[in-house]
Structure 1
Amino acid sequence: MPIKKQYLKSKPVCKVTFTLPGDEATSVVVAGNWNNWSTSETQLKKLKNGNFKGTLDLESGKSYEFKYVVDGEWQNDAQADAYTANAFATENSVLNL
């Protein structure tokens, strides 16, 4: 599922909606450099159709690194704007606003 970006005209903020197919997952969190990679702050809500969804307000004009934590397993977003290497010899998803 793509990431939806809605830029606000009144302030330099972008409402970013993350949607991830849930399949058999019970818990999905999005963690990134905007929240110091916290796995407890941004829990996505499970919808009736099985997808997980959540919206964050992030400052426009910046790039953010993030990953999903699906049932404790770190995953990238297949629809990310880009990917960048991290200190764990893997990659992080990148969101360009």
Structure 2
Amino acid sequence: MALKKSYSKDKVTCNVTFSVSKDAAHGAETITVAGDFNGWSSTETPLKKGKDGTFSVKVPLEAGKEYQFRYLLDGKQWENDWAADKYIPAPFSHTDNSVVIC
């Protein structure tokens, strides 16, 4: 798993590429990213599977903020990003949420 960030010239937008490697996907057919940037939708932001088996999606976010997120594999298994900027306790479960800082 990995996060790649790039900023717009005016530093207003942070383009975050969310990636899940083939190994980290554990054989999943579909992966989505859900977070406070998309209302925690489990369907709105699907990752596209590449030829090498890595899943990824680029999401434009407002710079200067922190965003919580998690990956949903095959619509049933939640996973954190191993390369997140930090982790914070999830408010409705006994796990942590991943955080990306833009």
Q: TM-score, normalised by structure 2?
A: 0.90
Q: Which residue of 2 aligns with 1:22?
A: 22
The offset of 1:2, in angstroms, is 2.3
SS at match of 1:74: strand
> How many residues were matched structurally?
97
How far apart are the structure 1 equivalents of 2:10 and 2:68? 25
Q: Distance in 2 between matches of 1:2 and 1:31?
A: 15
- 1:29-48 alignment runs, 5 A limit: 29-48=32-51
Is the contact between residue 22 and residue 46 of structure 1 (CA under 8 Å) also seen in structure 2? no
* Runs of 4+ residues over 3 Å off in structure 1: none
Matched AA of 1:53: S
Q: Which residue in the other structure is 1:6 paired with?
A: 6
Q: Which runs of 5+ in 2 are unaligned?
A: none
Residue 17 of structure 2 aligns to a residue in which SS? strand
Identity, % of aligned positions = 45
Residue pairs, 1:81-92, within 5 angstroms? 81-87=85-91, 88-92=93-97
Unaligned runs of 5+ in 1: none
